[in-house]
Amino acid sequence: MQLHIVFFLCVVCHISGQNLVPCPLTWVPSFSDTSISNSAVFTQKNRHAVIAATLSSSAEEIGRFSVSESDELPPFGFIPSSNDTEAVHQFSALTNSLGCQLSWVERSDSRVGRYGVNRSGKLVGRAMSADNLLPASVTGNVAVIVDLEDKRQTTNTFFVLISYNNGLQLTLKDFEFGEMQYGSDDVYGHDQLINHADVDVMYSVSHSKITTDTVTITESHSTTKSWQISAQVSCSMQFKFKGVKGSVGGGIGVDFSRSSESGWESSLTHSQTREISVARSVFVPPRTSIVACSTSSAVDNAQVPYSCLAEYTSPGLNGSQVLENVIEFFPNAIARGNTAVVIVEGVFQGSLTVSSTFTIQPFDAFNPCTSLASNSV
C-alpha cells in the first residue's frame, strides 16, 4: 500500500514603497471672459491662477489670472514684461487634469530639479505680496510677480511648484528561466503507526517544520534599472526543475522601495521564514504496521538566467505618460494601454523550499523516507 500526497508552497511578501515620479501638468488655452477650468492651478485658493502668455515682444512669460472678490470687477490676466506689465485676454492656464500631487517648496529643495514645473525655461512659483500669494516666474534665485498692475522682483521668500505622483508600480511577469537543478530532500516528520486490532483504526498525524526562503533577482546590465525607478515591484513566477514533471507553482511576490534617487540597487533580495505543516487522518488496516512520513524538497543556491516582461503603471497616467518616465532608461520600451512595457533579463539566485510530500508506506518498505522524491513524480 502506498499513498502520495504532494502539495506546493507559495512565498509572498509586501513592503510599501514611497518613491515619486514626475506627473505632467497641462497648459490649456483660455480667455479672460470665460470660466477657467476647475482643475486650474491656483497659488491662492480659487483666487490667483497660474497662466502663461506671449507678449507683444513675442516673448512668453508666466503671470497671473485673478478673480476679483467683487462681482462688479471682471477677471483679469497680467503678464510681466520687460518694462512693467501687460494685460492679456488670451493665455494658457496651468491645469492639473491628471490629479497630480502638488507642493510648493523652497528653491533649494532637491526635488525641484526632477519635479519642478517650468515653462519657456522658467520655473513656476509663487511669492507673497501684501495678503496675497501670487504666481511667479522663477529664474535662478529671483522670482518675478505681477502685484496689482506692477511688476516686482524678489529674492526673499518664494516657493517653486513641484508636481509628482506616488510612483511607478512595476509588475514583473511571464518569467522564462534556464533549467534549474532540483536540490535536496529533507525528512521533517516520521511516525510508525501500529494497529494490533482486528478492525481498521484511524490515526491523526501532523508534521511541521520552519523553513527560510531566500530569493535574489539581479538585472544583467547596470544600465537597466527596471525596479530602481519604481515605488513598488511585484513578481510572479513559475519554476521548472530538472528531473521533476511539470511546473512547481506558487507566486513569489517581492515589493521593493529605494530611499533616494542616487540609491540605485542592482538586485532585489527577499528572505522569509515560514512554517510548512501537514495534518492528515490515516486509516491503518487490522494487524498492520505502516510508516507516515513527510519530506520537503528544496532548491539550493540556484543560479539561472531569466527573462521577463516588465509592466509599468502609475495612478492617473496613460501608457504614453508612463513611458515618458522610463524611456530614458529603456529606449526599447513601448506604450501599451495604460502601461509601458519592456523585456528585462538577468540572473535568478535562490535557496527555497518548493514542495512538501506526505506518504504512507508499509513498515517493512526499504528505506521509505529517503525514497520519497522518486516516488512522488
| pLDDT given for residue 321 in this prediction | 87
pLDDT band at 162 (very low <50, low <70, confident <90, very high): very high
Higher pLDDT, 72 or 235: 235
Least confident of 74-78, 82-86, 123-127, 173-177: 74-78
How far CA 262 is from CA of 110, 167, 258, 259, in Å, comes to 12, 16, 9, 9
Least confident of 148-162, 219-233, 284-298: 219-233
Percent of the chain with pLDDT strictly greater than 90: 15
- Could you tell me if 107 and 141 are in contact, meaning their C-beta atoms sit under 8 angstroms apart? yes
- pLDDT at residue 206 is higher than 90: yes
Domain boundaries defined on the chain: 3-20+167-375, 21-165
| pLDDT given for residue 358 in this prediction | 85
pLDDT band at 48 (very low <50, low <70, confident <90, very high): confident
Contacts of 97 (CB under 8 A, 6+ apart): 25, 26, 28, 37, 39
136-143 average pLDDT score: 87
CA separation for the pair 293, 358 (Å, rounded): 6
pLDDT band at 237 (very low <50, low <70, confident <90, very high): low
Q: Per residue, what are the HEC states of the chain?
A: CCEEEEEECCEECCCCCCCCEECCCEEEEEECCCCCCCCECEEECCCEEEEEEECCCCCEEEEEEECCCCCCCCCEEEEECCCCEEEECEEEEEECCCCCEEEEECCCCCCHHHHECEECCEEEEEEEECCEEEEEEEECCEEEEEECCEEEEECCCEEEEEEEECCCEEEEEEEEECCEECCCEEEEEEEEEEECCCCCEEEEEEEEEEEEEEEEEEECCCCCCCCCCCCEEEECCCECEECCCCCECCCEECCCCCCCCCCCCCEEEEEEEEEEEEEEEEEECCCEEEEEEEEEEEEEEEEEEEEEEEEEECCCCCHHHHHHHHCCCCCCCEEECCEEEEEEEEEEEEEEEEEEEEEEEECCCCCCHHHHHHHCC
Strand partners, 139: 142
- pLDDT at residue 199 is higher than 90: yes
pLDDT band at 336 (very low <50, low <70, confident <90, very high): very high
| pLDDT given for residue 230 in this prediction | 59
195-213 average pLDDT score: 91
Query: CB atoms < 10 A from the CB of 122, how many?
Result: 19
pLDDT band at 124 (very low <50, low <70, confident <90, very high): very high
pLDDT band at 4 (very low <50, low <70, confident <90, very high): very low
Task: Pick the closest to residue 41 from 33, 50, 32 (CA basis).
Answer: 50
Higher pLDDT, 138 or 178: 138
CA separation for the pair 340, 107 (Å, rounded): 32
| pLDDT given for residue 105 in this prediction | 92
Least confident of 95-109, 220-234, 265-279, 306-320: 220-234
Please name the fold of domain 3-20+167-375: Proaerolysin; Chain A, domain 3 (2.170.15)
| pLDDT given for residue 371 in this prediction | 54
| pLDDT given for residue 367 in this prediction | 57
User: Which amino acid would we find at residue 305?
Assistant: P
| pLDDT given for residue 68 in this prediction | 65
Task: Pick the closest to residue 99 from 29, 164, 17, 169 (CA basis).
Answer: 164
| pLDDT given for residue 204 in this prediction | 94
Q: What are phi and psi of 98, to 5 degrees?
A: -90, -5
- Residue corresponding to grid cell 534556464: 178
How far CA 39 is from CA of 98, 100, 124, in Å, comes to 9, 10, 16
Contacts of 364 (CB under 8 A, 6+ apart): none
Instruction: Record the cell numbers describing residue 84, joined without a space.
Output: 512693467
pLDDT band at 268 (very low <50, low <70, confident <90, very high): low
Task: Pick the closest to residue 232 from 4, 59, 13, 60 (CA basis).
Answer: 13
Mean model confidence pLDDT for the chain: 75
pLDDT band at 71 (very low <50, low <70, confident <90, very high): very low
- pLDDT at residue 232 is higher than 90: no
User: Which amino acid would we find at residue 369?
Assistant: C
